Homo-oligomer: A and B are copies of this chain.
Amino acid sequence: MKSILDDIRNSIDIIDNKILDLVNKRFELIKKIGLLKFKYNIILYDKNREKKIIKNKILNNINNNISNNFIYNLFKIFFFESYKIQLKIINNKKSIKSNKNIVIIGGTGKIGKIFFNILDKKGYNVFSINSKNWDCFNINKADLIIISVPISKFKFIFDKVITICKEDCILVDVLSNKSCNIKYAKEKYNGPILSIHPMFGPKINNFIKKKILYINIKFKDKYIWFIDLLKEVGFILYEIDSVVEHDNYMKYIQSLRYLFFLLYSNILLKSNLNINKIIKYSPFNNEILIYLFFNFCSQNIDLYLEIINSNFCNNFDIINNLINDLMFLKLNININNKNLINKYSFLDNLNNLSYIKKINNNVNKLFNLFSILK
């Protein structure tokens, strides 16, 4: 039996090598397409084209042993790798659009460094400045200045910058909470201002499909090249209408999540449970939740508190709601669940909304991929 098994396994190995050989040829052609796309300025990532092709591959699947699900997964990883390969080709071309000077204040910070590397690779003249090596000469020469400093230091740095920089220098902030600082900046400075918010942590190893939010503050036409440049390296950019809208969403997207994970960390610590056992005994969704929690733990606590503070210090609505809800739960849990069921009955309704179906589709895909990963 052992020898039959080994024979079959050897045959599989031979097939695997043939497959990899074909994949290698496939990616060679993908490179050629990348060069064409670069030459004729064609968009690299076309989500709808990807969807259409995968749909067709599934429709035309004539192989008895291959499930539609496998086709989907296979071409998803083909497309992802192809996109990565083409991005690399285009970015290696060092497509400098001009010899612009760029300064990053706070460029030795984690997010500052990422921007430094991107712009440096692209071939711009990039200078990294922090409070200890303040550099008036390069600030004065700069065509674009990224101010990547803590929220509490922004106004101070901004005031220093605008007395030195050229009057048409583009100023870019990466603030997590924008309203009060950007209002100030808009009033004080007459040149172009762009407000961006990178939606990724400092540990990312590629920029593919990572998001950057941006808000047009003043003179968009002056810095549209910078937005295009960010798209070119793989980021997806979403424009938000106003800093108020931005801050309102971030209150829930960032601060609320940070708050939950802080509370969670404290409870987990007090529980004295073994974290490996928690993961082992957890269903997939809780396992993923713990991975997200540890991803949260890998950043600096000061940063989280600054963001929580900036969103919650003048408005205790969310914190008060949480306290009230917990009090309500405590009061009702021993009497009966009826009050609680009524309070949360909207959850049943939620599930009937049309967009929930689309979201649940994504949940299934996520769990499916998670099974593969494990």
Chain A contact residues: over half helix, strand or loop, or mixed? Answer: helix
Complex interface: chain B residues within 8 A of A372 (CB): 76-77, 80, 369
Instruction: Identify which of A117-125, A157-165, A225-233, A337-345 touches chain B.
Output: A337-345
Given contacts A209-B371, A333-B308, A370-B369, contact A33 B15 (CB under 8 A): no
Q: Which residues of B contact A334 (CB under 8 A)?
A: 313
With contacts A252-B273, A283-B199, A374-B209 taken as known, whether A305 is within 8 angstroms of B337 at the C-beta atoms is yes
Contacts A24-B66, A281-B213, A369-B369; A33 near B5 (Cβ below 8 A)? yes
Q: Are A321 and B24 in contact (CB under 8 A)?
A: no
Given contacts A301-B344, A319-B330, A372-B76, contact A23 B19 (CB under 8 A): yes
Does any Cβ of B come within 8 Å of A286's Cβ? yes
Contact present for B80 and A371 (CB under 8 Å) = yes
A199 contacts which of B5, B250, B282, B341 (Cβ < 8 Å)? Answer: B282
- Residues of B with C-beta under 8 A to A318: 267
Chain B CB within 8 A of A46 CB: no
Tell me which residues from 169 to 184 in chain A have a Cβ below 8 Å from any Cβ of chain B.
none
Given the known inter-chain contacts A199-B281, A356-B297, please indicate yes or no for A321 contacting B267, CB distance below 8 A: yes
- The segment from A56-64, A93-101, A103-111, A134-142 found at the interface with B is A56-64
How many Å lie between the Cα of A268 and that of B346 in the bound state?
Answer: 12
One digit per residue, 1 when the CB lies within 8 angstroms of any chain B CB and 0 when it does not, for chain A 199-228 equals 111010110111101000000000000000
Least Cβ distance of A211 to chain B in Å? 7
Which of A276, A326, A340 has the largest number of chain B CB atoms within 10 A? A326
Q: Residue of B at shortest CB range from A40?
A: B1
Collect the chain B residues with CB atoms within 8 Å of residue A298's CB.
Answer: 351, 356, 360
- In the bound complex, do residue B249 and residue A256 qualify as a contact, i.e. CB atoms below 8 Å apart? no
A302 CB-CB contact with B under 8 Å = yes
In the bound complex, CA of A245 to CA of B40 (Å): 63
A17-31 interface with B by 8 A CB criterion: 18-31
* CB–CB B28/A280 < 8 A: no
